[in-house]
Amino acid sequence: MNLFRSEEHIRRWALFDPASEPGIIALSDLAVLFSTESRRHLLDGDYLERWAGKRWPERREALQRIGKAIPYWMPAA
Amino acid sequence: MLDTADVRALDKVFRAILSRMVQTGQAPHHAELATARDCTSEEARLAVHAIFKRGYPGWVHPGTDLIASFPPLNNQPTQYRVSVDESQKWFAQCGFEALAVCWLFPGRMVRIEAPCLDCGDRMIVTMRDGVVLSADPPTLIGHCNSPWSLGADPKNLPFM
């Protein structure tokens, strides 16, 4: 899971897998995916008990919001 | 005694690990955790493994008990260097997790700097509280080379 200077750089990368075209994602969308509520509570002291289990459900919801609710990104329910 | 089946006990260890990484950029050894948590070194060692076995997507270095990755930070250096208020002492687990590091430093400007894997040229993202303040170059973009959905299964995490 990497950052690149542009889409062209992704496709020129020596290890680029052509099957990973759906894995290209805008920076603004990544910021949404990595700003879900549980992320804000990592240091609260009850992260494992209260927040860790919400990680993937939140991701599913965020993926819907950014239009990435496709099998490449969505975990099985 | 630290019971690794007790999630509240694990939460104390979790917070001790992450707090130390936030403060210093480095993960503690389990023997140091034992002192901080008033448990035995063996209990602390088992607690570290138990946190990852619960599905938290980090890992120890293969064949050891040394914390290598504790997202969003990494103890083992990666190409994703993170600076806070111009002090660079952190590494992100990956390019995606780098964007979540700002939540460990609320209200502060976090700078992510990395070389592009294609050309090696520098990329910089600055963030505060989940907001991207700048991206250089503006065309900067993310990529997942294998289905991200695989990460939902702890079996697919490296070194677990």
Residue ranges matching CATH 3.15.10.60 in chain B: 81-136
Band of the pLDDT at B38, cuts 50, 70, 90?
confident
In tens digits, chain A (77 residues) has pLDDT values of: 999 999 999 999 999 999 999 999 999 999 999 999 999 999 999 999 999 999 989 999 999 999 999 999 987 66
Band of the pLDDT at B160, cuts 50, 70, 90?
very low
Residue ranges matching CATH 1.10.10 in chain B: 7-70
Report yes or no: B92 at the A interface, CB cutoff 8 Å.
Answer: no
Which residues does chain B have within 8 Å of residue A24's beta carbon, measured at their own beta carbons?
141-143
Domain B81-136 adopts which CATH fold? Bactericidal permeability-increasing protein; domain 1 (3.15.10)
Beta-sheet pairing, B87-91 with B67-70 = unpaired
Domain B7-70: top CATH class: mainly alpha
Question: Rounded to whole angstroms, how far apart are CA atoms B7 and B67?
Answer: 19
What ipTM does this complex have?
A: 0.95
The pTM (predicted TM-score) of the whole model is 0.94
- Which of B104, B106, B145 shows the shortest C-beta gap to A17? B145
